[in-house]
Structure 1
């Protein structure tokens, strides 16, 4: 009877279903408390920024001389600036512009860098040499000077934001291309790639269906770090007056009030909110990136 019981027990036991690498990474990321708090904060900032028209009814462009430089109150939660505009309203609308510029630039950078790096790494030889020399030129190109010149030409025009996005996105992909190229060079020597080539798969199919999915984790990590960098660049250029046009609210434009000693010393409500928003957003993105990097690292899985 004991033998029968043991056999029936063993028969009822089912093998544990193995988890995919992406499932393991997702579980590990969820268990990273700092990364999850940062993700929730970033989502909160994005939601309230893009829902700004439904949260506040203040006019972001109206100049009200009678309400210039008012301290925070029940009518103006974060006070008003030197033109009488509500700081809280401009903070929300400024988040829309800063996040939009950061996301748009990141998408352009990741797309161009991934395409150039994948082609260079897969084909190698002459193609690799030409593309990498072009990448070296991009890396050594004075991007900020070029952005400042173009924004001076298009200053005050409606397409100023798009000029900023296109120029930054088109000239900051060099680092991503090098990272993707190195990963593709390592992956293309594996047997699954050689098997795909041997059965007549086209280079485009091998790159898209076989190589890029195996470099996707690296691309995701690089995208988070690039996102933070793009927000910093936009804020710095806008702070200096060469980024987003002054009539368009952004965190960098709001921070430019700190150039005046009087505002810096006695009117912190004008520049502290955008400064805290930029700092906390960048920290959140970096913590999320570190969490993704740790979650996708095979050596740290259990």
Structure 2
């Protein structure tokens, strides 16, 4: 009697390979319905904002005195503003400006804060003291005053949008640096770091390949919350007149229309849409951040 065996089948007692922590985190994040709905909503807003020139052909700059302050209609879905410009079209272009500021500031803040925090936490000693005193110095700046001053200095030298991005990023990386430093200080005492040092690994390699991957979860979660905070900062500064230039639509300078009491009470279609967009985008980013925080938390894994 001939026995046929399948060599591809695993041995009965062969141990199964357990999924990596990142795979577990990804699966758990995908099971978070609120985070996934928020992610889909945010991606939709980003696509609509950056494809605005292909979706609409209406001019966002030209003043149309024949269509000033018109209510929503089939021609103008969200009405027109005090200069006769279509509010829906400006909403999409404004989303591009606000999201560009949020994403760019998040990237620069996290990048610079991670570099400073990892170097400070790994080397310690005088390097740590110098970098942390410099970080404290940056954190003590009165934010609004320095944004106004630096904006005034850089106007004309850098485009208005990138001026605001640079100013906000320069003044907000300190918090990320402190978080990364504290995590690096705790992580570098582990045995695998001592083993890497004993075999002669360069400090840069230890930081990049061993330390940062193990503190990446905290950085990722903080990055999402930073993006939400930066959109709020841009909106507040533009509302006050110190943010994005008036010729570039953003959700913040669209809200500036609400400073007029007549618009605030009788022409709500001018300021409610951008206010709603800011609120929903901030909520979606926060829900995504909470989902990532839960997914990357090893104590919450099953």
Whether the aligned pair in 1 keeps the contact of 2:155 and 2:163 (CA below 8 Å) is: no
Whether the aligned pair in 2 keeps the contact of 1:156 and 1:246 (CA below 8 Å) is: no
State the shift of 1:143 in Å.
Answer: 2.2
State the match for 1:283 in structure 2: 283
- Measured at CA, do residues 82 and 47 of structure 1 come closer, stay the same or move farther in structure 2, by a change above 3 Å? same
The 2-side partners of 1:10 and 1:50 are apart by 50
Residues 250-289 of structure 1 mapped to structure 2, 5 A cutoff = 250-289=250-289
State the shift of 1:142 in Å.
Answer: 1.4
Residues 28-43 of structure 1 mapped to structure 2, 5 A cutoff = 28-43=28-43
Deviations 1:155-209 (A, max 9, x none): 5887111111111111100000000000000110111111111111111111111
State the match for 1:240 in structure 2: 240
State the match for 1:125 in structure 2: 125
Whether the aligned pair in 2 keeps the contact of 1:155 and 1:245 (CA below 8 Å) is: no
State the shift of 1:149 in Å.
Answer: 2.1
The alignment yields a C-alpha RMSD, in angstroms, of 1.6
State the shift of 1:56 in Å.
Answer: 0.6
The 2-side partners of 1:13 and 1:209 are apart by 34
The 1-side partners of 2:297 and 2:199 are apart by 32
State the match for 2:216 in structure 1: 216
Relative to the length of structure 1, the TM-score reads 0.94
State the match for 1:173 in structure 2: 173
State the match for 1:249 in structure 2: 249
Extract unaligned runs of 5+ from structure 2.
1-8
State the shift of 1:144 in Å.
Answer: 1.8
State the shift of 1:139 in Å.
Answer: 0.8
State the match for 2:5 in structure 1: none
State the match for 1:18 in structure 2: 18
Whether the aligned pair in 2 keeps the contact of 1:152 and 1:242 (CA below 8 Å) is: no
Q: Secondary structure at the match of 1:128?
A: helix
Extract unaligned runs of 5+ from structure 1.
1-8
State the match for 1:50 in structure 2: 50
Deviations 1:211-260 (A, max 9, x none): 11111111100100100010000000000000000010000010000001
State the shift of 1:153 in Å.
Answer: 4.7
State the match for 1:98 in structure 2: 98
Q: Secondary structure at the match of 2:201?
A: coil
- Measured at CA, do residues 182 and 271 of structure 1 come closer, stay the same or move farther in structure 2, by a change above 3 Å? same
Aligned length: 294
* 1:297 and 2:297 matched: yes
- Measured at CA, do residues 272 and 14 of structure 1 come closer, stay the same or move farther in structure 2, by a change above 3 Å? same
The 2-side partners of 1:94 and 1:65 are apart by 22
